[in-house]
Every structure is written in C-alpha cells, then in structure tokens.
Amino acid sequence: MSSPASAPPAPNNLKRIVAASLIGTTIEWYDFFLYGSAAALVFNKLFFPDSDPLVGTLLSFLTYAVGFAARPLGALVFGHYGDRLGRKKLLVLSLLMMGGATFAIGLLPTHATIGTAAPVLLTVLRLVQGFALGGEWGGAVLLVSEHGDARRRGFWASWPQTGAPAGQLLATGVLSLLTALLSDSAFNSWGWRIPFLLSGVLVMVGLWIRLSVDESPVFKQALAQAETRKAEAEPMPLVAVLRHHWRDVLIAMGARMAENISYYVITAFILVYATTAADLSKQPALNAVLIASAVHFAVIPAWGALSDRIGRRPVYLLGAAGVGLWMFPFFMLIDSGDFGSLLLAVTVGLVLHGAMYAPQAAFFSEMFATRMRYSGASIGAQFASVAAGAPAPLIATALLSEYDSSTPISLYVIASVLLTLVAVGVAKETRHRDLAEPMASPGEAEEASAAPRKQGARSV
C-alpha cells in the first residue's frame, strides 16, 4: 500500500509543479548569473574605473562573491520558516526579493554619477540577491522531490536544477545579443541595463505560475502530525539538523565543492581568461558559454534519470572525477584561440558538471527528515557556496594575475574534486528513501524500511 504522501501524483499536476519550480529557478539564476557576466565584462569599468583593468575585474568579482556570502543567511532564514510554514510561501518571497534587487541594479547610477556610493549600493543589492537565492534552491527542489514519484525522483528533481543552465543561457544570450547589436560605447553607456530591467517582466510571469501550485503533500502530512503532538516541544529545524544530520550536512558541503568551483570557473572565469590570456574577444567567449549551456540544460535530466537506475553516488562520482581529469585539456583547448576548441572545452566541462548537479537535488533531499529538510538541504548546499562558488572566479583571476598560467587554476579545481570524491565516497546511497518517513538519517531510514519491504508493504 502506498501512503498518501508517497503515492505518485497525477501526471498533469506533477508537470505543473515541475514547471513552477523550473521557471522560478530559471529567473532566480538568470538574475544571479547576469551579475556574474556583467562583473566580468563591464562592472570593472562602470563601478571601479580608477583601477587597473585586471584589478578592476578582481574588485567586481569581489562584489560578485558578496552575494555568495549572503546565501547561508538566506538558507538559515528561509529554511527555518520553510520547515515551519511551508515551501510555497517562501518560494514566492524569494522570487520577489531576487527580482526586485536585479531590477534595481538596472536603475543604479554608476561611479561617474555618484562616486563611491555606486559600488556600495551595488554591493547591497548583491547581498539581497544572495540572500534570496540561498532560500530559493532548497524550496524549489523540495517542492518537486516531495511531490514526485519516488521511483523517478532523480529525474523529476533534476528539472529545477536545469534552472541554472537555463538562467545562464538566458543571461548570456541576452548579453550576447546586446554586445552583437550595440557598439562597445553604447553597451557600456546604457545597453548593459536592459537585461537587468528585463528581470521585472520575468518575475511577474514566474510569480503567476508559482502561486498556482499546491503545497508539498509530504510537508502537509508532517505538519498535521506535528499538530497532533503540540504538547511536545518541537525543536527548531536548525537545532534538529545539527543534532541528527550534522554528518549529512558535512557530506553535502563536501559534495558541493567540486560542483560549485568547477561551474564558476567554466562559466564565469572563462570570460576573463578567454579575453585576457587567450586574446579572444568577448563575443566568442559568450557564444561558447551560450551553446554549452544549452547542452548542459539537455543532459541534466538524463543524468538525473540515470541516478534513478544506478544510484545518486555513482553518477555524482563519475561527474567529479571527469571534471578533475578535464581541467588541463580544458585550458589547453582555450589557449589554442580557436572557437571550435573553446566550445568543446566548455561543453565537455558542463556535461561532466551535469553529472554532479543533476542527482544533487534528490540526493540532498533524501538525506534529511521532512520537518528539517528545507533547513538541512539549504544549509548543506549554501554554506558550501561561501568556500566554493563565492571565491572561485576571484581565486582563479588572482592565480592568473600572479602566475600568468592556467596550471595553478587547474590544480585548484582538482583539489576541490578530491574533496568531493571523499565526501560522496563516504556517503550512503539514498535513492530508495521514502521522503514521508520521519527518520533522522538515511541510514536509519534504510534499516526501518527493510522490514516493510520484506512484508511487501514498502511505500513507493
């Protein structure tokens, strides 16, 4: 007998849930990545004009990294209230905050107009972006994971993950189109504002779709059970996570290192490397990221489906090892100065990255119990981003400036891969986990579910 919480939903309803999560995460990542691309291309000139070009890029990437610093705080706040109030309410709030901050960046005066106040305001708005994104990821993947058919959870939960390449595709595509149509002076003067202002329209569309979906049935069941135990003091989600899931939080953080660092080196730092070390113009670099992001989008659901068949860990380990092995060929291909080689370097890198990113949503969701799942998944994912994605373009740019070589950058990525291989290697496989089970850890869930499986009563 399937429990109500774990029974497969109607296909149309599940598709609507997936669409709401995907569109929302696409908009959130569009806003976030747009900043990263602009930091590499124009913010060094507009907000840090008195600096050496490479130093200006470092400073603009520093404000880029500030957004990552705010993500753990967003994970804590959104995770706490998401586990108490529900996934849907917090997802609506995160979308409004992210869209509002991005739209405001499009209206922001530059250094030439208001002086040092310009980079200060830019940093504040970047903090709001990071705070919102810190709460977005956990809620979006949980909404799908907790609605979806357990047998295909890896596939369905991977769709919100495609919001990252879709957002990258949209952000890079808009910037690429504008740089192709406008002169450098026009783009630097006013053209760069258009993609940020466009966010306001996208948010309205995403908000309309996100408001139309239902709350997670697994969460509603857990909330009802908590209501019947009102006499018992329920611990704060953060306290419960640290008490019962501290090992899983560390595993999630370790798993994120190679995935996060490699992604921002491949998609954000490449715009710096290709235009400075490889003597390419920004247009082919943008086009390479644009095409590769489309391939990335396509392969993520395939990797997610594979994780349903052979497990989350094998797919994740394959992606991490592949990225590590690809780093030296990656930079050698870019150094050739040929667009075809550049495209191959980025595409293969993102395909291998997808093998880590696709199963991540289901993998992290399955590590935590329902009433602490938003907090646990968000904390594990977003705290790692401070040490991984936040400084990655900054560290890579500093290494390039210091050594004038890609070798230290490759070694930096490979070091993160080794950490991820260890973290995922010691993790337990989670793909058979029933998300409705109020277990403290995947290991306990497997032990408790073994007996019902033998009796033919396993929920699927």
For the cut 70, the answer to whether the pLDDT of residue 97 exceeds it is yes
The distance between the two most distant Cα atoms of the chain, rounded to a whole number of Å, is: 73
**Which of 449, 454, 451 is CA-nearest to residue 432?**
449
**Which of 138, 31, 160 is CA-nearest to residue 90?**
138
Identify the top-confidence range among 13-17, 131-135, 338-342, 432-436: 338-342
Eight-state DSSP code of residue 280: -
CA distances 438 to 65, 125, 334, 358, Å, are 36, 38, 49, 25
Helix/strand/coil (H, E, C) string of 346-366?
HHHHHHHHHHHHHHHHHHHHC
What is the per-residue pLDDT for 454?
A: 42
For the stretch 332-388, pLDDT in tens is 999 998 899 999 999 999 999 999 999 999 999 898 887 788 888 888 888 888 888
Position 442 confidence tier, pLDDT thresholds 50, 70, 90: very low
Q: What is the mean predicted confidence (pLDDT) over 322-340?
A: 94
What is the per-residue pLDDT for 55?
A: 65
- Residue 285's φ and ψ, nearest 5 degrees, are -65, -45
For the cut 90, the answer to whether the pLDDT of residue 16 exceeds it is no
Say which residue, 440 or 146, is predicted with more confidence: 146
Lowest mean pLDDT among 232-241, 257-266, 400-409: 232-241
What is the per-residue pLDDT for 439?
A: 52
Position 11 confidence tier, pLDDT thresholds 50, 70, 90: low
What is the per-residue pLDDT for 455?
A: 41
For the cut 60, the answer to whether the pLDDT of residue 390 exceeds it is yes
DSSP for 84-125, please give it. HH-HHHHHHHHHHHHHHHHHHHHT---HHHHTTHHHHHHHHH
What is the per-residue pLDDT for 379?
A: 86
CB 258, CB 419: distance < 8 Å: yes
What is the per-residue pLDDT for 117?
A: 85
What is the rounded distance in angstroms from the CA atom of residue 367 to the CA atom of residue 140? 16
Position 259 confidence tier, pLDDT thresholds 50, 70, 90: very high
Residue environment code for 111-121, b if the CB has 16+ CB neighbours within 10 A, otherwise e: beeeeeebbeb
Position 283 confidence tier, pLDDT thresholds 50, 70, 90: confident
Q: Residue length, the chain?
A: 460
CA distances 160 to 38, 217, 233, 308, 360, Å, are 24, 18, 34, 16, 11
Identify the top-confidence range among 52-61, 126-135, 272-281, 318-327: 318-327
For the cut 50, the answer to whether the pLDDT of residue 5 exceeds it is no
Q: What is the average pLDDT value for the chain, to the nearest integer?
A: 82
% of the chain exceeding 70 in pLDDT: 85
% of the chain exceeding 90 in pLDDT: 29
Q: What is the mean predicted confidence (pLDDT) over 90-95?
A: 86
For the stretch 22-57, pLDDT in tens is 887 888 788 777 877 787 678 777 887 766 566 666
3: left (phi over 0), alpha (psi -120 to 50) or beta: beta
**Which of 289, 14, 39 is CA-nearest to residue 165?**
289
Eight-state DSSP code of residue 5: T
Identify the top-confidence range among 63-72, 97-106, 413-422: 413-422
Tokens 């290697």 sit at which residue?
Answer: 425
What is the per-residue pLDDT for 229?
A: 57
Provide CB contacts within 8 A for 383, sequence distance 6+.
Answer: 72, 75, 249, 253
Q: What is the mean predicted confidence (pLDDT) over 178-199?
A: 88
Eight-state DSSP code of residue 212: T
CB 265, CB 392: distance < 8 Å: yes
What is the per-residue pLDDT for 313?
A: 96
What is the rounded distance in angstroms from the CA atom of residue 170 to the CA atom of residue 163? 10
For the cut 50, the answer to whether the pLDDT of residue 149 exceeds it is yes
Q: What is the mean predicted confidence (pLDDT) over 159-186?
A: 86
The first and second tokens of residue 220, run together, are: 């509603």
Helix axis angle for 237-244 and 246-264, nearest 10°, is 100
For the cut 50, the answer to whether the pLDDT of residue 6 exceeds it is no
Q: What's the pTM? A: 0.79
Tokens 């979806």 sit at which residue?
Answer: 148
For the stretch 189-225, pLDDT in tens is 899 899 999 888 888 888 887 787 777 677 777 677 6
What is the per-residue pLDDT for 84?
A: 78
Q: Give the rounded distance of the alpha carbon of 336 from its chain centre.
A: 30
Say which residue, 453 or 191, is predicted with more confidence: 191
